């Protein structure tokens, strides 16, 4: 139970006369009296409150007290007469201190087990000799002694031991052995170290020799780390770091889909690729294990460029066939020497080489079902054979030709083998799109500025 404040009860039967002026608040020294069993005037404040075990009303007692040579605390005790459940905890009555505190106590004699200890929720308790630790926020704050801390730890370990033994859990025996070691500490057969580390600075270990120095107790004040301040709620948690793009580039993502040929379940692989001297693209490839169908597609990783792009390459050498090439869905291809033009969206987006794209074009034209069979025109067959022969000559480097890529969206690319210098055989032009080109890209009806005013007028 926790309360924001408490009123010290007056003697029974006394009445307070109303006053037009507000009474001055009681002094802190009057509210927080030094803890003493002989102080009869120091009585706890009792508040009827709900028991969270049986949901009947129980009694909470609050005692505002002061630890000598330390500071003020609030001792809270709850008990329920209906179910017998009780709970005791302490809270600091002050603020979180400017620095954290670490108490290192060397327990050498049985008298050290009687030292008073204030352990807050945020304190971590350690006994290095046993490699034992009670993490922060795993227990409620307590006003106890060194022996009480160990007894409380033993009770916590023994709590589930019957269930572990019934299940023949292998850890039950090891926990029993550890409990024996903790009980031996209470006898102080040999010295051991108790460390209480509290980032809030509100924990305390008694110095029985105060105000003289205690050789067995070392008190260290330190500046909190960012993690400790976040744990205490003094600082907002740092936003999760965004994954670096490099990690995404090195990772192949997979998702389930259906094969476009046989409709069987298949997997599509997707990868983000950075093209040198250009931009990022998304490559998607599908391989069907059922029918063997394979397909790949390239999507631009960026927006539509402000200007269109026209790339003209003069093919003069067989090495030109090895140039990397990115053809977006909005790109058209033209080869003037063959009087050939490939419109937008045909063949889709592709990331391949110049040789690979020319072979795809040859296959698309020569294997067209409308130009094959008995009903085909002989003249048309002859033209297709001539087209195929010339395309083979270009691929083999026996025929010079111009290869033109025209992309109004500006998202296509042809490798410059002389980069970062200019390529003498390649010309890259940037041009302003026409109204019809913007219409095909759906940009004429797209309004990115001042659209809020337009929506308001329509309403």
The CATH number of residue 384's host domain is 2.60.120.1040
Domain end call among 286, 302, 318: 302
pLDDT of residue 70: 58
**How far is Cα 429 from Cα 305, in angstroms, rounded to an integer?**
13
Residues 47 and 76 in one domain: yes
Strand partners of residue 282 = 272, 299
- Residues 426 and 412 occupy one common structural domain: yes
Q: Do 87 and 103 share a domain, yes or no?
A: no
Q: Residue 407 in contact with residue 330, Cβ under 8 Å?
A: yes
Q: Is residue 89 part of a domain?
A: yes
The closest of 348, 363, 359, 354 to 283, measured between CA atoms, is 348
94, 127, 142 — which closes off a domain? 94
- 298 lies in the same domain as 406: no
How many other β-carbons are positioned within 10 Å of the β-carbon of residue 390?
Answer: 18
Asked if residue 144 and residue 112 are part of one domain, the reply reads: yes
Whether residue 419 sits in one domain with residue 316: yes
Angle formed at CA 391 by CA 389 and CA 396, multiple of 5 degrees: 95
Structure tokens at 10: 């007056």
Per the structure, the complete domain to which residue 75 belongs is given by 30-94
Place of tokens 């025996």: 173
What pLDDT is attached to residue 436? 86
- Cβ-proximal residues to 18 (8 Å cutoff; 6+ apart), any chain: none
Nearest CA among 452, 348, 356 for reference residue 403: 356
Distance (Å, whole) CA 65 – CA 73: 6
Residue 11: what pLDDT? 37
Q: What is the DSSP pairing of strand 426-431 with strand 350-353?
A: unpaired
Residue 177 CA, chain-centre distance (Å), reads 40
Are 254 and 172 in a shared domain? no
Answer for the pair 65, 118: CB distance below 8 angstroms, yes or no: no
Task: Enumerate residue ranges in the chain where pLDDT < 50.
Answer: 1-29
Give the model's pLDDT for residue 182.
Answer: 92
Same domain? For 107 and 217 the reply is yes
Number of domains making up the chain: 4
Contacts for 242 with CB less than 8 Å, ≥ 6 apart = none
Number of H helices, E strands in the chain: 10, 25
- Residue 295: predicted pLDDT: 79
Note whether residue 330 is domain-resident.
Answer: yes
Beta bridge partners of 254: 269
Looking at the fold, whether 290 and 322 belong to one and the same domain comes out as no
pLDDT given for residue 106 in this prediction: 94
94, 120, 145: which is the final residue of a domain?
A: 94
Phi, psi at 355, each rounded to 5°? -65, -40
Task: Decide if 228 is inside a domain.
Answer: yes
- Residue 58's pLDDT is 92
């Amino acid at each position: 139970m926790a309360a924001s404040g408490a009123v010290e009860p007056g003697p029974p039967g006394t009445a307070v006369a109303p006053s037009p002026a507000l009474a001055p608040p009681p002094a802190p020294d009057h509210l927080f009296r030094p803890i003493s069993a002989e102080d009869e005037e120091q009585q706890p404040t009792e508040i009827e409150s709900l028991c969270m075990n049986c949901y009947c009303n129980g009694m909470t007692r609050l005692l505002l007290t002061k630890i000598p040579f330390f500071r003020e605390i609030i001792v809270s005790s709850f008990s329920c007469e209906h179910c017998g459940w009780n709970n005791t905890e302490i809270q600091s009555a002050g603020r979180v201190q400017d620095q954290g505190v670490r108490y290192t106590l060397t327990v050498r004699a049985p008298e050290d087990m009687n030292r008073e200890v204030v352990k807050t929720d945020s304190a971590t308790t350690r006994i290095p000799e046993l490699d034992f630790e009670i993490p922060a926020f795993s227990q409620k704050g307590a006003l106890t002694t060194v022996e009480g801390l160990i007894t409380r730890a033993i009770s916590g370990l023994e709590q589930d031991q019957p269930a572990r033994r019934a299940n023949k859990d292998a850890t039950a025996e090891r926990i029993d052995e550890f409990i024996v070691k903790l009980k031996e500490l209470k006898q102080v057969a040999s010295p051991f170290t108790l460390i209480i580390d509290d980032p809030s600075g509100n924990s305390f270990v008694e110095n029985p020799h105060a105000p003289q120095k205690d050789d067995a107790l070392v008190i260290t004040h330190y500046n909190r780390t960012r993690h400790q301040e976040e744990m205490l709620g003094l600082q907002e948690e740092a936003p999760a770091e965004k994954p670096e793009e490099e990690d995404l580039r090195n990772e192949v993502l997979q998702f389930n889909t259906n094969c476009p040929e046989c409709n069987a379940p298949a997997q599509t692989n997707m990868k983000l690729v950075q093209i040198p001297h250009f931009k990022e693209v998304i490559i998607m490839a599908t391989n069907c294990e059922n029918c063997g169908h394979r397909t790949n597609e390239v999507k631009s990783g960026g927006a539509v460029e402000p200007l269109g792009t026209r790339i003209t390459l003069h093919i003069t050498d067989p090495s030109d066939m090895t140039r990397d090439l990115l053809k977006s869905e909005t790109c058209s291809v033209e080869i003037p020497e063959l009087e050939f033009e490939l419109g937008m969206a045909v063949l889709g987006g592709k990331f391949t080489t110049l040789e690979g794209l020319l072979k795809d074009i040859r296959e698309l034209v020569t294997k067209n079902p409308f130009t094959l069979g008995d009903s085909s025109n002989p003249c048309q067959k002859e033209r297709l054979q001539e087209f195929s022969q010339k395309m083979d000559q270009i691929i083999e480097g026996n025929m010079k030709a111009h290869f033109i890529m025209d992309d109004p969206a500006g998202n296509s690319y042809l490798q410059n083998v002389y980069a970062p210098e200019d390529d003498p055989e390649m010309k890259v032009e940037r041009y302003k799109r026409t109204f019809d080109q913007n219409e095909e890209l759906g940009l004429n009806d797209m309004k990115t500025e001042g659209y809020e005013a337009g929506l308001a007028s329509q309403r």
